[in-house]
């Protein structure tokens, strides 16, 4: 039975890593019918819409998306496509597995890092409620609700139990933001009581950041509000080699969008230098989501085998291979 998936290549290096990922997914033998939906900075500026209707129609039809990076203007311009997708489709859980790949030279290559970060995706400071009270005085509202906090905590604990994870750490700043982060913590504690088989602890976000750098191998599942989750997930990616190799998923009750979390890198677009690992690893999560765990396992093992061999890696991880050469190496491993 075929699976249908909306493919959003994005812009910059997006189309290159998307093409490489499509080749890898199709090489697993899974029958995926891609519904291509173009979205890039030029389209958004021309249409005046961050999310054109044809894109939403496709995602509402397939319920599953694979998305490359889309350029987001800084300090002005249109809203982030990621933020707009999360709010429009209620993709409340950002899931970021962070694990060591063989052959990557980092400061932590002598320890095994294997953590999963759960970031609430719909509120907090990302609600975008900002106001200039008087000239040069701006307020930005941090919104924390019981509904969203309880939902992300429930999702993280259920994932932990389902996947044999033993520890969940809630990350907060409730010593300062006693009401907002205090509510988030209360929800985490309530959910933790429903899972006595999973050890639960709490860490203040600045201490958690230090502990991640000093002892990253001690972390298992991290549970965070939106802003802390955004920062900590990128910090954690840096521990294992950077955003070019770390996957991401935005999960909701009815929709799921899997994406590379790195930027569009327009400075190297079209040069065959882009590393498609992050989007390929995101497609591993997609395959699990659509009920193809064997294909997911084979694709992940193929990627890991290429990294272990080390002769066909892209420049960002210490190699000299092109995007196509890396992809061809993954396909050869899949055929084996």
Q: Which of 90, 114, 220, 234 is catalytic?
A: 234
**The dihedral of CA 262, 268, 269, 270: what is its sign?**
negative
Cβ–Cβ < 8 Å for 111, 240 = no
> Looking at 230, 273, 307, 316, which residue is catalytic?
230
3-state SS class at 204: strand
Is residue 309 flagged as an active site residue? Answer: no
Tokens 């993280």 belong to which residue? 156
Say whether 11 is catalytic: no
Residue 220 is given by DSSP the state: -
Report d(CA 317, CA 89) in Å as an integer. Answer: 34
How far is it, in rounded angstroms, from Cα 56 to Cα 220?
A: 35
Q: Which residues pair with 202 in a beta bridge?
A: 170
Single out the catalytic residue among 31, 57, 206, 309.
Answer: 206
**Alpha-carbon torsion (103, 105, 110, 111), positive or negative:** negative
From the list 11, 87, 126, 200, the catalytic residue is 126
Q: Given 67, 87, 173, 273, which residue is catalytic?
A: 173
Active site residue 136: no
- Catalytic-residue membership of 31: no
CB pairs under 8 A, 24+ apart, for 103-107? 103/307, 103/308, 103/309, 103/310, 103/313, 104/240, 104/241, 104/245, 104/307, 104/317, 104/318, 105/318, 106/239, 106/240, 106/241, 107/239
What are the catalytic residues? 126, 173, 206, 230, 234
């Amino acid at each position: 039975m075929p699976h249908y998936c909306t493919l959003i290549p994005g812009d910059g290096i997006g189309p290159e890593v998307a093409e490489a990922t499509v080749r890898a997914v199709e090489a697993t033998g899974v029958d995926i019918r891609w519904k291509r939906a173009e979205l890039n900075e030029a389209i958004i500026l021309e249409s005046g819409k961050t999310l054109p209707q044809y894109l939403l129609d496709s995602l509402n039809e397939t319920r599953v998306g694979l998305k490359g990076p889309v350029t987001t203007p800084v300090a002005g311009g249109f809203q982030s496509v990621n933020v707009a997708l999360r709010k429009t489709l209620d993709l409340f859980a950002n899931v970021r597995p962070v694990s060591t790949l063989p052959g990557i030279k980092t400061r932590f290559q002598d320890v095994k890092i294997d953590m999963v970060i759960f970031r609430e995706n719909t509120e907090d400071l990302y609600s975008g409620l900002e106001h200039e009270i008087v000239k040069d005085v701006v307020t930005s509202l941090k919104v924390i609700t019981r509904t969203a906090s309880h939902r992300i905590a429930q999702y993280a604990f259920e994932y932990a139990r389902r996947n044999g994870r033993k520890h969940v750490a809630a990350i907060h700043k409730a010593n300062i933001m006693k009401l907002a982060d205090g509510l988030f913590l209360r929800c985490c504690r309530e959910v933790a009581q429903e899972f006595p088989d999973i050890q639960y602890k709490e860490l203040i976000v600045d201490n958690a950041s230090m502990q991640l750098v000093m002892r990253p191998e001690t972390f298992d599942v991290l549970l965070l509000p939106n802003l802390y989750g955004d920062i900590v997930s990128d910090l954690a990616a840096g521990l294992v080699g950077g955003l070019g190799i770390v996957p991401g998923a935005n999960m909701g009750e009815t929709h799921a969008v899997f994406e590379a979390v790195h930027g569009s890198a327009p400075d190297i677009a079209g040069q065959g230098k882009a590393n498609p690992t992050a989007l390929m690893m995101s497609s591993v999560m997609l395959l699990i989501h659509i009920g193809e765990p064997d294909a997911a396992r084979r694709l992940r093992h193929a990627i890991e085998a290429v990294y272990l061999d080390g002769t066909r890696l892209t420049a960002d991880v210490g190699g000299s291979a092109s995007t196509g050469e890396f992809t061809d190496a993954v396909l050869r491993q899949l055929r084996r």
